[in-house]
Structure 1
């Protein structure tokens, strides 16, 4: 694996180079802070307008007007979900998991925003409540709700195992987008993007630094 068998000798000051201090690339103190108390009060008085059940190995789209809440619930066991977000009025503006990760970290939770792609660069949604916030980070460095992974897809499956499987997250999302926005599948697929892995418990192994998952809590 990478970095396990270096082929170049260390310089004499290698330890000093490794000991240099960490600098956070994107300090977030100047970002607008969510009023979580106000959000909680609004949720208490909120009226349920729509309920949608998504069976395993499938996907669905829902329109959420600005100012409304969308609650994602695991109804049967330790399920996980891959979440894509678009501006309903312009699907060229979509969730930017990489920038969300750079701003908020590898896993997101209450108080974090889900940022949109360039040139828009604004919150498409805010996380105002997370009932798994008790989990934190475990001894393996794992946590929930990651913006690390891309999404399972038939192309990587074919690359690694030679098999074709089209009930993976990418294919499920593609079918849902095609249906919701009335697009041919080949066009809908171009709008499917890297995800927020809701409920998914993930991290990086300490020895090889590979992406891992564990059973969701």
Structure 2
């Protein structure tokens, strides 16, 4: 393993990932959703786009070996491995201040939108707005008729999803602070970001 970063519950972190490196997102305690964002390293206005990815793959979420693409339709990440039950989402927007206000929160509440901004700030980067995230471990089944359900994540402690960078990029991860709907079991917990060289075994957990 090259390096490991803890993303505390309800916080975010961003890391630089070189082309060919793998980035593994680990659910440390189980049942935690992570909002994942990716930006081209040489121009952060180019970002991973969920809608462009769905158009590219004709799936709600890519299969192993398929690419996530940017808003310029260039591959940025590949789904390399997944040890979780396989529930992930690319339909739901990142939580933000307006979302929590609509849920009845008065005053400040941590959000994935704020976590993204702070994570990029730490690297000296800015992005205008909040792209649609890749919501790893998030369980939002689509029923007949198109109805969505908000269910608790069923990822287990140590479950992980691994991406391989197709280009030099910045990957940001928010350990989603949502505690008012069921997705995190009403109790956000931490995640980990692990950077591995391309030849490293994604199942090797040695630090």
TM-score (norm 1): 0.64
Partner of 1:200: 138
From 146, 151, 163, the counterpart of 1:214: 151
User: Quick one: distance in 2 between partners of 1:152 and 1:172?
Assistant: 10
Higher helix share: 1
CA distance in 2 between partners of 1:211 and 1:175 (Å): 30
For 1:49, the equivalent position in structure 2 comes to 2
**1:167 paired to 2:110:** yes
The alignment partner of 1:190 has SS state of coil
Match in the other structure for 1:24: none
Does the aligned pair in 2 maintain the 1:112–1:127 contact within 8 Å?
yes
What secondary structure, in the 3-state scheme, does the structure 1 residue paired with 2:100 have?
helix
Check whether the contact 1:157–1:164 (CA below 8 A) recurs between aligned residues: no
Q: Match of 1:72, SS?
A: strand
Structure-2 residue corresponding to 1:140: none
Q: Give the number of the structure whose residues are more often strand, by fraction.
A: 2
Which TM-score applies when normalising by structure 2? 0.67
SS of residue matched to 2:3: coil
Two-structure CA RMSD over aligned residues (Å): 2.0
The residue aligned with 1:98 is 51
CA distance in 2, matches of 1:72, 1:160: 28
Q: Aligned partners of 2:130 and 2:77: how far apart in 1?
A: 17
Any idea what SS the aligned residue of 1:170 has? helix
* Cα distance in 2 for residues equivalent to 1:89 and 1:206: 42
Unaligned 5+ residue runs, structure 1? 1-47, 137-143
Tell me the SS of whatever aligns to 2:9. Answer: coil
Q: Structure 2: 5+ residue runs without aligned partners?
A: 155-207
CA distance in 2, matches of 1:111, 1:103: 13
Alpha-carbon distance between aligned partners in 1 of 2:107 and 2:65, rounded to the nearest angstrom: 39
Alpha-carbon displacement from aligned partner over 1:131-178 (angstroms, at most 9, x marks no partner): 13xx46xxxxxxx11111111111222245363443111111111111
Are 2:59 and 1:122 aligned?
no
Contact 2:117-2:127 within 8 A present in 1 as well: yes
**Structure 1 runs, 4 residues or longer, greater than 4 Å off:** none
Q: Does 2:98 align with 1:155?
A: yes
- Answering whether residue 36 of structure 2 is matched by residue 83 of structure 1, we say yes
Larger radius of gyration: 1
3-state SS of paired residue (1:73): strand
